[in-house]
Each structure stands twice: as C-alpha cells, then as structure tokens.
Amino acid sequence: MLRLIARPLLLAVTLMAGLSACSGGDTSDTAAAKPAGEVPPIIKEREENFEAIGAAFKAIRGQLDADAPDFALIAAKATDINTRAQAIPNHFPASTSTADGFKTEALPAIWEKPEEFKAAAQKLVDESAKLVSLAPGGDKAAVAAQAMAMGGACKGCHDKFRLDDEK
C-alpha cells in the first residue's frame, strides 16, 4: 500500500522540480506555496548578517560600559558593522517578504519604498564609518555619542522596515 502512495508522490515531486528548473528560478508566483520549513538562502544570509551586526553592537556597548574600554575592539566591531551594513540592500531581492509567504521580519515597505530603504541602510554605513574613525582616538564620550548615533540609524530602519513581533 505504501508503495502505491509513494510512487505518485515521488513522480509529482520530480515533475515539480523539473518545471521549477525550466522556469529560470523565478519564485515570485510560487513563494507562498513553498513548504513551511523551506527558507531561501538569501533570507538565512540576511538574518545571519543582522544577528552579527547585533552581536557587534552589543560588544561595543559592553566596552563602553567598562571603565577602560578597548577602543581597538570597538573599532574592529564598528568596521564589521560597516562592512555588513554595506551588504544590506543586496539581502532583499524581490519575493522574500512576509507578503510572499515567508516567516521573516522584512516588511513589504522595503520593496514599496526601495530608495528610502537604501537611504536607511546607507545611514548605518555612514554612522558606523564615523565610529570606526573616532574609536582610535580613545575619547570615550565621543565614541559613546557616535555609538548612540549608530544605534539610532539601526532604530530608524527597524521602525519603518522591520516587523516588530514583540509588541
């Protein structure tokens, strides 16, 4: 009995794979029909990128809470944030939002207002670059103020383009 069910299922999966390959990889019409656990690699990549940005920012805040911050570490973490921030716009291709059936924090506003989204990402690039340049000077107050400005760039983007599922 199991063989009778498994063969048609295997045939159907094979046919779907073949049709998908012939479509040139365009998933815009089929994104919502994907199995619940299937996440495109680009979504995983962007989530990992943002998690790394968050971890780097947390390390910076931790150093600024210390009596004697390691400004070299702050500069290194700010450099990491800057590099990762430059990649943000490329992590959001079409058909990878909540509207496309994916469990993601990326709001459709990213694609509805692409120039505004790119400007928000650029703000993080600019603010993190300022932190990179300030950190070697060892001025804790100036570095802390710039870290706050960088955090504001994160918040500004989150407020408009990220699903806040904790409200």
pLDDT of 1-46, one tens digit each? 434 433 433 333 332 333 233 333 333 333 333 445 578 999 999 9
pLDDT at 7: 40
**Matching CATH number, 40-90+103-167, of 1.10.3720.10, 1.20.120.10, 3.40.50.1100, 3.30.300.30:** 1.20.120.10
Domain ranges of the chain: 40-90+103-167
Per cent of the chain over pLDDT 70 is 76
Four-point Cα dihedral 8, 10, 11, 13, nearest 10: 120
| Token pair in block for residue 88 | 């943000």
- Give the single-character DSSP code of 99: G
